Structure 1
Amino acid sequence: MWEKNTMFSICQTCLRGIYSCQRNSQNRRQNRACCWFSFLSFVSILALSWMYVCFIAFNDRDGVNWEAFKTLKKWVNWYMIVMVVSVVLATYCLLLLVFGLLHLAIREPLNLHWLHKVFLFLGLLTVTLGTAGFCIKWKDEWKTVYMSFQATAPFLQLGAVVALTLISWLVFQSYHRAKTAACKVFIMMTFLVVSAAVFLCPIAICSPCITNNLPPKPALVGHRGAPMMAPENTMMSFRKSMECDVVAFETDVQLSKDMKPFLMHDNGSSFLLRTTDVKDKFLGRDGDTNTNFTLQELQTLNAGEWFVRTDPFRSVSSLSKEEKMEANNQTVTSLSELLVMAKKHNVSLIFDLKNEKNSTGFHNSDSYYTTETIKKSGISPEKIWWLTPEYRNDVRKIAPGFKQVYHNEQDMNADGGSFLNMNYNSLSAHNISDLRKKNVSVNLWVVNERWLFSLLWCSGASSVTTNACHSLKNMSKPDWHLEPNIYMGIWISVDVISLLLMFGLFLWQRRRNHVFRRNINERSVPLLPH
């Protein structure tokens, strides 16, 4: 018994030291302490939600890094820093919340130390600034967060049931300790309402991945090749994407000074700064545009060393020594080189013309010179997915065999087309399903994460443009797929088990509270005189 009491005392001291930074228990104003515990609970929920948002938005992390690069002219993986901060914040808040709950369980005063209070305010400020940044600079990402619930909601509900079961013993403890009937009614009614909402919310969950009829797996389109495994828009990158059995290469085309099409994503001034050694090769010309360089000059640049040095996707370590050497020696690729590869391996080609809006007429346009280059290559016309809307009719006249692809339904319907290429969060699962029933091909970009690919697979997308073809090619089924009967069985079983456990905890807490009160009453009885 002495050893048991000693261990309990040691645990009390440890918990008190972490939560209150005090060795001895001090009964301060408990109303204020409870307010701080409520604040801790609130910040913990916000931090956990913010971490969820960051993990979901990880699919589009390049957008954040790219915006930062345009401002700072230096490539840093800023989004990874945001991720680390969000994980540390959520972990800290949740651990502190657990210690607070343990304080309640062993009837310790909730005296939160002032340093924890400061950190909680900093955490709240971090989440607030992050949310404001999303709303101002990246508001479309909230569509992605909403989409994610279609995949994760069934499993989040199961997690919520487990969490509710775990904290129910504290709720029942508070119920039995309450001194007035009104307080008891309030505690129990609140808990019952929350429990009913959690237990029954699957009725309102609509997930395309809970189905008996799973559509075919979407085909893969290599976004700038395979940029996680090789420098983007280089021949090595496109060769790597062929190992993933992609049906098409996606790239970005610009014209050089001598009107030769070449591949490069960044455009405008400093378009070579991120992915080449232009600063070293052409001193003072790193701020020039595409019209200031001939194709011969462009192909003297190194377009791969940056990839090995900056490791933008944290994937360089997976490459062999020979592959790293090959990546280090990549150059700027011409469209003609890519067309030879696409023709040889029977792969389609889709591309953006980065500077087409600056053209003054069709025969002076990027569309014209690009189309002429494609025709000279001898590639089958139906292998070209023509995306650029400017001069579409002119291109159709000189190259009628190109497959016309559209950015939105309105333009597609007006032109009698049947191929859409859109951002993945522009269409709902219902929209995708309806379009597929009309025999419209739907390609969605850019899809890198397994959860998102799984959701679009269940929705019926024809193909997706991806940076992560090496990861998605190995998926044999969606990660989130469940047949309705199986999910219903899991849902009902978990709810029933949770209810039984809660009922058992309620009875145990009532018995424990009864014993505690009896001991208190026995101690309060005065000793009889001898």
Structure 2
Amino acid sequence: MTLLSWPIALHFFRMNKRVRQVLILSLYLAVLFALYLVPLGMYSPCIKEEGTLGPAPTLIGHRGAPMLAPENTQMSFEKAVEAGGEGLETDVAISYDGVPFLMHDSTLRRTTNVHEVFPNRTDSPAAMFTWAELEMLSAGSWFLRRDPFRTASTLNVNEKIEVQNQTVPTLKEFLNLAAQHQRLVIFDLRRPPRGHPYRDTWITRTLEVIHNESFINSSQVLWLPDDQRSVVQELDPELQQTSGDHASIEELQEEHIVRLNLHYSYMSQEQIRKYASVNISTNLYVISQPWLYSLAWCAGVHSVTTNALHVLKKLQRPVFLMTPDQYNLMWILTIIVSAFFITAVFIFHWWRERGLPFWSGSRQVNENGPYSKFRTGHPKIFNDHRQSGAHLKDSTH
């Protein structure tokens, strides 16, 4: 509105009708006053009393560190650990011969070279491949070719070679890496399509890997799948039951949920506090921007899933964190400065259009004023041109 004051003031003083002037000025002042009141109705969890900020949310690498290495590969998870991630997130499917492996999409087309190795099966479900077939695929070459986050140029020669050598990992390899570094894990589990040998036993097959084939502790696993939750809870009560449903507290407690995994659009400080009061923590996904992470931090979120572990880990405090007094002072000073400049703009145009000092009480336009729209040149030159015109007029008669 400060910038708009210049053209508004210019047209205001050039209007001939007083009614129009009053209408324009009234409308402008009404909008300006409303904008000045906006800060009073604004809310941010980062406006907090000093000393009330909680600990920073735990960082969980979304498919590892997908900005630094191909998603859902061993290299990606190793990068996430190196960047300081406290947890690792992935997606699990089960091969046709019963090997749980890491893959987000329902097909292999986006993140492998399946079009080169199996050109006739590019649209086939990933779960319909045997493990021997999956081992033949590259899970990293696409990263250098597509550069999804425009970060491939930051990799050195050795890292680019490592990227090209990435293969599809098994769930066992993923869990053992997490166990080795004492990291939490959370994963989506895809049910195999119809006609798959493990269509009805995919839950128990996954539990077999956790219990018998890997050396991870069950307490490190945030168990997200909703299917057969009561059975899973009975088989392994140490798993941290995690839900993606925005359900009531009563429903969550009945299912022994200890953590919620929600999209960040559900972020509400009131809801987060309500869940925390009954020992249900909250994880939000996918948060990769520092300002959004700051809001989650201020709201008391327990953990976030992120693509940018290496960026968020460097934040020492939330962005724009301030006390209510600091916030009010900032806006009061902003309003005062804005009002001063707006007033100065109107005074300047008032003086320019009348050619009078702003302290003059006269409303008569001064034709000899420096900004008179009737004269832009030097007085002597202007008079000489006027006299010359008069002589020419006399000579024509």
For the superposition of Structure 1 and Structure 2, which TM-score range results when normalised by the shorter chain?
Answer: 0.7 to 0.9
Shift of 1:256: 0.6
Q: Which residue of 2 aligns with 1:428?
A: 268
Cα distance in 1 for partners of 2:109, 2:168 equals: 13
Q: How does 1:220-231 map to 2 (within 5 A)?
A: 220-231=59-70
Cα distance in 1 for partners of 2:100, 2:61 equals: 19
Shift of 1:218: 0.6
Q: How does 1:362-381 map to 2 (within 5 A)?
A: 364-376=200-212, 377-381=214-218
TM-score, with normalisation over the residues of structure 1? 0.65
What letter corresponds to residue 471 of structure 1 in structure 2?
V
Cα distance in 1 for partners of 2:331, 2:310 equals: 34
Contact 2:98-2:198 at 8 Å conserved across structures: no
Shift of 1:365: 2.2
Cα distance in 1 for partners of 2:125, 2:196 equals: 18
Q: Residue by residue, what CA displacement relative to the aligned partner does 1:26-57 show, whole Å, maximum 9, x if unpaired?
A: xxxxxxxxxxxxxxxxxxxxxxxxxxxxxxxx
Shift of 1:359: 9.6
Among candidates 159, 169, 175, match of residue 333 of structure 1: 169
Q: Which residue of 2 aligns with 1:495?
A: 335
Q: Residue by residue, what CA displacement relative to the aligned partner does 1:403-441 show, whole Å, maximum 9, x if unpaired?
A: 100112334243242311111112323322332344321
Shift of 1:358: 5.8
Shift of 1:180: 1.3
User: Does 2:246 align with 1:406?
Assistant: no
User: Does 2:114 align with 1:266?
Assistant: no
Cα distance in 1 for partners of 2:105, 2:127 equals: 14
Q: Residue by residue, what CA displacement relative to the aligned partner does 1:216-268 show, whole Å, maximum 9, x if unpaired?
A: 1111011111111101110000000001222221111111111110000011x
Q: How does 1:46-445 map to 2 (within 5 A)?
A: 164-212=1-49, 213-267=52-106, 271-355=107-191, 364-376=200-212, 377-408=214-245, 409-410=247-248, 411-445=251-285
Instruction: Specify whether residues 284 and 488 from structure 1 end up closer, same or farther in structure 2 by C-alpha distance, changes over 3 A only.
Output: same
Shift of 1:522: 7.8
Contact 2:192-2:199 at 8 Å conserved across structures: no
Cα distance in 1 for partners of 2:236, 2:337 equals: 65
Of the two structures, which has the highest relative contact order with CA contacts closer than 8 Å and spacing of 6 or more? Answer: 2
More helix by share: 1
Contact 1:356-1:367 at 8 Å conserved across structures: no
SS in 2 for 1:245: coil
Cα distance in 2 for partners of 1:297, 1:362 equals: 17
Computed over aligned residues only, the root mean square deviation of the Cα atoms, in angstroms, reads: 2.6
Cα distance in 2 for partners of 1:190, 1:363 equals: 67
Cα distance in 2 for partners of 1:373, 1:393 equals: 19
Cα distance in 2 for partners of 1:521, 1:329 equals: 76
Shift of 1:356: 5.9
Cα distance in 1 for partners of 2:199, 2:347 equals: 84
Instruction: Specify whether residues 186 and 371 from structure 1 end up closer, same or farther in structure 2 by C-alpha distance, changes over 3 A only.
Output: same
Cα distance in 1 for partners of 2:278, 2:329 equals: 34
Deviates more, 1:409-418 or 1:272-281: 409-418
Q: Residue by residue, what CA displacement relative to the aligned partner does 1:72-120 show, whole Å, maximum 9, x if unpaired?
A: xxxxxxxxxxxxxxxxxxxxxxxxxxxxxxxxxxxxxxxxxxxxxxxxx
Q: Residue by residue, what CA displacement relative to the aligned partner does 1:431-484 show, whole Å, maximum 9, x if unpaired?
A: 223323443210011111122111111111100011111111111111122221
What letter corresponds to residue 404 of structure 1 in structure 2?
Q
Contact 2:96-2:198 at 8 Å conserved across structures: no
Contact 1:429-1:459 at 8 Å conserved across structures: yes
Shift of 1:195: 1.0
SS in 2 for 1:166: coil
Shift of 1:354: 1.5
Q: Which residue of 1 aligns with 2:291?
A: 451
Instruction: Specify whether residues 289 and 416 from structure 1 end up closer, same or farther in structure 2 by C-alpha distance, changes over 3 A only.
Output: closer
What letter corresponds to residue 140 of structure 2 in structure 1?
G
What letter corresponds to residue 485 of structure 1 in structure 2?
D
Aligned length: 364
Shift of 1:506: 1.9
Instruction: Specify whether residues 276 and 521 from structure 1 end up closer, same or farther in structure 2 by C-alpha distance, changes over 3 A only.
Output: closer
Instruction: Specify whether residues 467 and 419 from structure 1 end up closer, same or farther in structure 2 by C-alpha distance, changes over 3 A only.
Output: same
Q: Specify every segment of 5 or more residues in structure 1 that has no aligned partner in the other structure, as ranges.
A: 1-163
Contact 2:127-2:193 at 8 Å conserved across structures: no
Instruction: Specify whether residues 361 and 398 from structure 1 end up closer, same or farther in structure 2 by C-alpha distance, changes over 3 A only.
Output: farther
TM-score, with normalisation over the residues of structure 2? 0.85
Shift of 1:167: 2.3
Cα distance in 1 for partners of 2:194, 2:316 equals: 44
Contact 2:191-2:199 at 8 Å conserved across structures: no
Cα distance in 2 for partners of 1:395, 1:358 equals: 22
SS in 2 for 1:246: coil
Contact 2:65-2:80 at 8 Å conserved across structures: yes
SS in 2 for 1:439: coil
Cα distance in 2 for partners of 1:279, 1:362 equals: 26
Q: Specify every segment of 5 or more residues in structure 2 that has no aligned partner in the other structure, as ranges.
A: 357-364, 376-382, 392-397
Cα distance in 2 for partners of 1:500, 1:352 equals: 57
Instruction: Specify whether residues 207 and 225 from structure 1 end up closer, same or farther in structure 2 by C-alpha distance, changes over 3 A only.
Output: same
Cα distance in 2 for partners of 1:521, 1:166 equals: 24
Contact 2:128-2:196 at 8 Å conserved across structures: no
Contact 2:192-2:198 at 8 Å conserved across structures: no
SS in 2 for 1:352: strand
